[in-house]
Amino acid sequence: MRNESLELLRGTLDLLILRALKVETTHGYGVLRWIERATGDELRIEEGSLYPALYRLEKRGWITSEWGLSENNRRARFYQLTRKGRAQLETEVDEFVRFALAVFRALDVTPTPA
């Protein structure tokens, strides 16, 4: 049960990371803050799991990283969406929407904007 939700969460997490980086090039904490803000703090992400996810995405070539200076002049690692990542984001959004609509149909509910 818990395993399944983790799996689901992980896929979703990747999607949200890509979406966050589409907005701006930022460090891990910036990504997290964007997700928190964008979801109205609804999704509670285990912060630790964010970083392995970032590394994984980088390995797949969807994002790249580079050390730089943060807003408050600290050395931080900045992540940037690659062209491949941008394409991946589009596909994943499409798939997620199809998935979500299918689940809604099964549950016989109509999605309403939050």
Partner 1 sequence: MQQDRSRRYLQFFGPRPDADVEDEIAFHLEARAQELAARGLPLAEAREEARRRFGDRTRVEAEMRRMEREKSRRAARLEMWRDWGSDLTFVRRSLMRQPLFTIAAVLTLGLSIGVNTAIFSAVNAFLLKPLPVRDADRQMVVATMFKKDGITGSVSYPLYREVKALPVFEDAVSWLGWEVALRRDGNTQKGFVLAGSGNYLTALGVQVARGRGFTEADAATRAPVVVITDSYWAREFGRAPAAVGATLYLNDVPFTVIGVLPAAFTGTQPLIVPQLMMPVESMASFYPAIAANMDDMSWGSFRILARTKAGVTPAQLEAAMGQYTADLEQRYPREMLDSKVVAAPETRARPDLSVSRIVPWIAAVFFGMVGLAVLVACANVTNLLLARAAARRSEIAVRAALGAARGRVIRLLLTESVVIGILSLGVAYLLARFSIQWFNNLDLAIDVPISFGLEMDWRVFGYAAAISLAAGVIAGLAPAVMGSRAPVSEVLRESGRSGAGSKGRARFRNGLVIAQVAVSFVLLVSGGLFMRSARGAANLDIGFRRERLLVSQMDLSLHRLDSVQTRRTQDQLLERLAALPNVEAVGLGSHIPLGGNNYGRNLYLDTRPTAAPQGMFQTFYATVSPGYIPALGLRLREGRDLLPTDDDAAPRVAVVNRALAEALWPGEGALGKRFRLDEQGPEVEVVGLIENAQYLLLGEAPRPFAYFPIRQSYRQQTFIFVRTRPDDPLAAVPDLRRVVTEINPSILLSGTRSMATHLDHGIALFFVNMGATLATAIGLLGLLQTVVGLYGVLSYTVAQRAREFGIRQALGASAGSIVGQVLRQGSVLCGTGIAAGLAIAIVLTRSMSSLLYGVSPLDALAFGGALLIVGVVAFASSYLPARRASRVAPATAIRAE
User: Binding residues for partner 1, per CB under 8 A?
Assistant: 27-29, 32-33, 46-49, 51-52, 55-56, 58-59, 66-67, 70, 72, 74-77
Place of tokens 């964008």: 38
Shortest CB 31 distance to partner 1, Å:
10
Closer by beta carbon to partner 1, 32 or else 89: 32
Closer by beta carbon to partner 1, 52 or else 111: 52
Place of tokens 């703090």: 41
Tell me how many degrees the CA angle 97-50-18 measures, rounded to the nearest 5. 40
Shortest CB 107 distance to partner 1, Å:
31
Q: What is the DSSP letter of 98?
A: H
Closer by beta carbon to partner 1, 48 or else 113: 48
Q: In what order do the strands lie in the sheet with 26-27?
A: 26-27, 75-81, 63-69
